[in-house]
Amino acid sequence: MFRIDVACPRCGGTRVIKYGRTPEGKQRYKCNNKNCKCSTFLLDYSYSGSRPRIEEAIIKMAKNGKEIRKTTMTLGVSTAKVLSTLKKQRLQ
């Protein structure tokens, strides 16, 4: 047996518990920090657009003048993910 130290991707806290499995069978975790707004997370996401901080990377690339197509190829996400992130950012 081996132990995997799991930290919350949002707050970095180590007070994490197992919280069931996804339909694909991947382990789901939940942060027990009361001040953290992270509901549940995975260690290995099937779709790279679901990874933590991917939206920040999309916004950063857009501010640096990168094209949408270049952003999708670099980050490995869909064009729809990039466009929806940029639309959300514009509305804020």
pTM for this prediction:
0.62
How many degrees, rounded to 5, is the angle at CA 63 between CA 74 and CA 10?
70
Q: pLDDT tens digit string along 57-89?
A: 999 999 999 999 999 999 989 999 999 999 988
53 with 27, same domain: the answer is no
The answer to whether residues 52 and 41 touch, using CB atoms and an 8 Å cutoff, is: yes
Tokens of 46: 């099937």
Distance linking the first and last C-alpha atoms of the chain: 47
| Residues 37-62: tens digit of each pLDDT | 877 888 877 777 777 788 889 999 99
List the domain range (segments joined by +) for residue 75: 48-91
Q: Number of C-alpha atoms within 13 angstroms, CB side, residue 5?
A: 3
Question: Both 33 and 72 in a single domain?
Answer: no
70 and 40 share one domain: no
Q: Categorize the per-residue pLDDT at 34 as very low, low, confident or very high, splitting at 50, 70 and 90.
A: confident
**Token pair for 71:** 């952003």
